[in-house]
């Protein structure tokens, strides 16, 4: 995927986040939770395509949906830097980030499924802190 397309997708997500934050007047933790929910949506949809054996993994890693997972991950990481000290959040985020990086590097469909669990832990943690 070219950089221009990635920039378009990133800006689209940023606009949606800003609209949500403006509408709900949420704090950085609320923004992080919203991003986590969006990541969950992207991951679930992408994993559904991963379950189709006829689609090459290299194609799946270069489509808009996977790019949105990457955009969401960058936005989430930027957002959690604004949060007050949360001793568990960095480790939970590191787990998701490590799985995502590993999936990109190894192109492993089985490992891709671990994104779901890592993200669920992160989302549960954030929701419990609200």
Whether residue 16 is predicted with pLDDT greater than 90 in this model: the reply is yes
CA dihedral 43, 66, 48, 75 (to 10 degrees): 10
pLDDT one-digit tens code per residue, 20-77:
999 999 988 899 999 999 999 999 999 999 999 999 999 999 999 999 999 999 999 9
Whether residue 85 is predicted with pLDDT greater than 80 in this model: the reply is no
pTM: 0.91
Whether residue 121 is predicted with pLDDT greater than 60 in this model: the reply is yes
E strand or H helix at 52: none
Among 17, 12, 129, CA closest to 76: 17
Q: Which two tokens stand for residue 25?
A: 């007047």
pLDDT one-digit tens code per residue, 45-60:
999 999 999 999 999 9
Give φ, ψ of 54 to 5 degrees: -75, -10
Instruction: Evaluate whether 36 touches 119 at the Cβ level (below 8 Å).
Output: yes
């Amino acid at each position: 995927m070219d950089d221009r397309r990635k920039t378009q997708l990133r800006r689209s997500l940023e606009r949606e986040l800003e609209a949500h934050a403006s509408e709900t007047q949420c704090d950085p933790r609320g923004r992080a939770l919203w991003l986590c929910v969006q990541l969950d949506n992207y991951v679930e949809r992408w994993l559904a395509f991963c379950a189709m054996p006829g689609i090459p993994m290299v194609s799946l890693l270069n489509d808009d949906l996977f790019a949105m997972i990457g955009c969401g991950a960058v936005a989430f990481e930027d957002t959690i830097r604004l949060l007050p000290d949360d001793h568990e959040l960095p480790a939970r985020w590191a787990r998701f980030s490590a799985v995502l990086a590993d999936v990109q590097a190894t192109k492993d469909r089985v490992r891709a499924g671990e994104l779901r669990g890592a993200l669920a832990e992160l989302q549960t943690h954030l929701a419990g802190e609200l």
